[in-house]
Amino acid sequence: MSAQTRVFLGNMAFVIKKMMGRKKTDRASRLRFWSALNDVGINSVFFIVITLGFVGTIMMLHGGYQAARIIGDSNLVGPQILPLMIRQLGPTLAGLMVATRVGTGMAARIGSMVVTEQVDALRLSNACPVNYLITPSWHAALVMVPILSIFGITAAFFSGMLTAYVVFETAPGVYADWSFVSGLDAVEALIKSISFGAVIPLIAGTCGLSTHGGSAGVGRATTNAVVLSSLAVIILDFFIGALILGLR
């Protein structure tokens, strides 16, 4: 194991220990939480709605085209992509977007605080860097990734509906056929998005804290944050999905 990996894992253990520890909430910590909610949630929602809006259109367009070619009927496509949208694409794409937007931001901010010794200064002030810099975003992401997923799924649903109507003349009532969607799909979406919300700030924050070596180091930390947290999202997506498929 390389020295960097050891530092990274050591830091991650430290971050987890600190996040699990009890801490008192005061006005300052509530303010940090609100600002993180704003950063993770409000500032990402537009991005996610647009992305998933396009994904809904693309899925419907290609699915409808294929279905029309093979079975001559594109009416079945809507009901088939709905469950996929809910349990798979919605949470995963929302997770990937948050990994890109929030993960890089966190790693860059914390990394530059490390190289300018601001993190050392926090520690000298007895202010735990994890509580100050990571925990607020962690809490915010736990709340916000599920909410963002719902926004994303909704956007994909309506853009798919519009595409089905305009391109394939599928009536909205036919498109919005919920009979293939089960409660388990919603449970899966929730479990996935909460897990993504938990791992992204953890990984990005740890990458930030493990920074060394000036601005080049901050660059590396940022890249690592987006690569590792996206990878974590995809791997979790697979395992949670497979586990729940096993339950069906």
* Binding footprint of other proteins on the chain (CB under 8 A): 2-4, 26-28, 116-118, 120-128, 212
Q: Tell me whether residue 43 or residue 116 sits nearer to other proteins (CB atom).
A: 116
Per residue, the 3-state secondary structure of the chain, as one string, reads CCHHHHHHHHHHHHHHHHHHCCCCCCHHHHHHHHHHHHHHHHHHHHHHHHHHHHHHHHHHHHHHHHHHHHCCCCCCHHHHHHHHHHHHHHHHHHHHHHHHHHHHHHHHHHHHHHHCCHHHHHHHCCCCHHHHHHHHHHHHHHHHHHHHHHHHHHHHHHHHHHHHHHHHCCCHHHHCCHHHCCHHHHHHHHHHHHHHHHHHHHHHHHHHHCCCCHHHHHHHHHHHHHHHHHHHHHHHHHHHHHHHHHHC
Q: Tell me whether residue 66 or residue 116 sits nearer to other proteins (CB atom).
A: 116
To other proteins, the closest distance from the beta carbon of 212 in angstroms equals 7
To other proteins, the closest distance from the beta carbon of 80 in angstroms equals 49
To other proteins, the closest distance from the beta carbon of 174 in angstroms equals 53
Q: Tell me whether residue 100 or residue 131 sits nearer to other proteins (CB atom).
A: 131
Q: Tell me whether residue 27 or residue 248 sits nearer to other proteins (CB atom).
A: 27
To other proteins, the closest distance from the beta carbon of 9 in angstroms equals 14
